[in-house]
Amino acid sequence: MHKTTLSQRTRTEGMALGLFALLVCLGGMVFGCGTASNIPPSQQQTEIQHQIPEGKSLVYFYYTKKYLLGTTAVALDGKSSPIEKNSYVLWEVEPGRHQLTFTFERKWYKKTVEKTITCEPNQRAFFHLYAYTEDDEVQHKILQASANAGQKRIQQFRLMRRFNGEIL
């Protein structure tokens, strides 16, 4: 008959406990411990959440890059929000002309890119930042995306903020 000593049992129980802890950690990594805000909404949720109020316009600005060592913000007519990589900001506005502004900022550097846009009633407009090189310098401008391209992007991205009197 084989006898198990106390130290062997303690070691075996310790190994079992360690294995259990490892499985719990791996399960957390596989199934996620993040918040739901990091998961893009489904197409149906996006369409319901972003229905156009009668007579209004919806303006989307989506951002695909990461600005290193600084902050980025986007504003429409002074209503400003920080913006991060793979996210977007949404404004509900009256039809007409509006000023869209994107800002990169560091302690010692600030660059602003502006575009005057015209919004039509009962329509969505999608904008994004475009980078290009001119005379060996990186330049930026705000471009309007097609409705199809813009809708595809925002379905993949996270909503940073919505301006309609309500802050998300």
Check residue 18 and give its pLDDT.
53
pLDDT on residue 153: 92
Q: For residue 53, how many other CB atoms are within 10 A of its CB?
A: 10
Total domains in the chain come to 2
78, 29: one domain:
no
Please tell me whether residues 14 and 86 are part of one structural domain: no
Average pLDDT in the chain: 78
Confidence bin at 106 (pLDDT 50/70/90): confident
CATH of the domain at 91: 2.60.40
Q: Which residues contact 50 (CB under 8 A, 6 or more apart)?
A: 58, 90, 124, 154
Residue 19 scores a pLDDT above 70: no
Let me know whether 44 and 75 are in one domain. Answer: yes
